[in-house]
């Protein structure tokens, strides 16, 4: 179950558009994450995705924040407290700063990316905790492809895709920066279907996601995501299979939507 939110975010990465027409500045999506424990699908954690506007001395940015926390009754078994966040341009959603702070069952890691889009480079900081409780840092300068983005920035860019123009079976492959490495992610449109959710019946795009990193997702069409087939394109349901098990993500509430 290590890095639960990291696995979930891998579902939602697709490609990039030039304009933000779907994501508002005060949006909040709340999900329940379930995991198969001894053959029983069990509600394990709450996942929250939030947006907010941030004013700096030079510009206004959109803060994209994703966090996952176990329900308190599971903390003694395997406590999860993860935070992923990116600061992006509010129109293009181009990222400038990314942070990943995960604490799962005593495992801790912090990652930070500072983007330089003029040179296609990222200044990376990785911080981990030793067995004695002290920390060590690793700093790197990474060259990235022109359209490479982190998971959070990619996640929100999916919402601006013209999926309604795609045909069933069409696919796209793109590049995401994870743990200082670039990986290829492929998303395929499988169908358009209506499903029941906690926020009502929703017509959705059913998408399959595959990553060319062997230890993340398993199987063909085992990792699925349903996005609402409207102008907001919010994720409402997901199913995932990883080497240590499988699980689901179900939306509980959605507020502050742009459309």
Query: What phi and psi, each to the nearest 5 degrees, are found at residue 130?
Result: -75, 170
Q: How many CB atoms lie within 10 A of CB 197?
A: 16
Q: 143-176: buried (b, 16+ CB within 10 Å) or exposed (e) per residue?
A: ebeeebbbbbbbbbbbbbbebeebeeeeeeebbb
Instruction: Annotate 117-135 with DSSP letters as a single string.
Output: TTTTEEEEEEEEE-TTS-E
Q: What is the pLDDT of residues 130-169, one digit of tens each?
A: 888 889 999 999 999 988 889 898 888 878 888 888 999 9
Domain ranges, residue 193: 4-255
In this prediction, what percent of the chain has a pLDDT beyond 90? 58
Q: Are 225 and 211 in contact (CB under 8 A)?
A: no
pLDDT at 172: 81
Domain with residue 18: its CATH number is 2.40.360
pLDDT at 243: 67
For the chain, what is the domain count? 1
Q: What is the pLDDT of residues 62-98, one digit of tens each?
A: 999 999 999 999 888 889 999 999 999 998 888 999 9
């Amino acid at each position: 179950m290590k890095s639960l939110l990291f696995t979930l975010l891998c579902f939602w990465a697709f490609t990039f558009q030039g304009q933000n027409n779907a994501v508002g500045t005060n949006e909040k999506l709340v999900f329940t994450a379930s995991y198969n424990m001894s053959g029983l699908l069990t509600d394990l954690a709450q996942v929250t995705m939030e947006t907010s506007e941030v004013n700096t001395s030079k510009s206004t940015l959109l803060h994209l924040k994703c966090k996952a926390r176990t329900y308190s009754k599971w903390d003694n078994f395997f406590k999860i407290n993860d935070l992923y966040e990116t600061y992006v341009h509010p129109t293009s959603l181009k990222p400038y700063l990314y942070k990943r702070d995960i604490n799962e069952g005593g495992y801790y890691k912090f990652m930070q990316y500072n983007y330089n889009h003029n040179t296609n480079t990222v200044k990376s900081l990785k911080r981990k905790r030793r067995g004695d409780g002290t920390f060590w840092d690793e700093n790197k300068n990474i060259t990235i492809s022109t359209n490479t983005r982190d998971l959070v920035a990619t996640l929100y860019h999916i919402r601006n895709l013209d999926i309604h123009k795609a045909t069933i079976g069409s696919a796209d492959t793109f590049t995401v920066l994870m743990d200082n490495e670039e990986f290829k992610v492929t998303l395929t449109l499988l169908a358009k279907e209506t499903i029941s959710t906690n926020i009502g019946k929703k017509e959705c795009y059913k998408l399959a996601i595959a990553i060319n990193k062997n230890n993340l997702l398993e199987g063909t069409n085992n990792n699925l995501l349903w996005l609402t087939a409207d102008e907001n394109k919010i994720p409402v349901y997901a199913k995932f299979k990883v080497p240590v098990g499988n699980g689901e993500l179900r939306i509980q509430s959605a507020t502050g939507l742009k459309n």
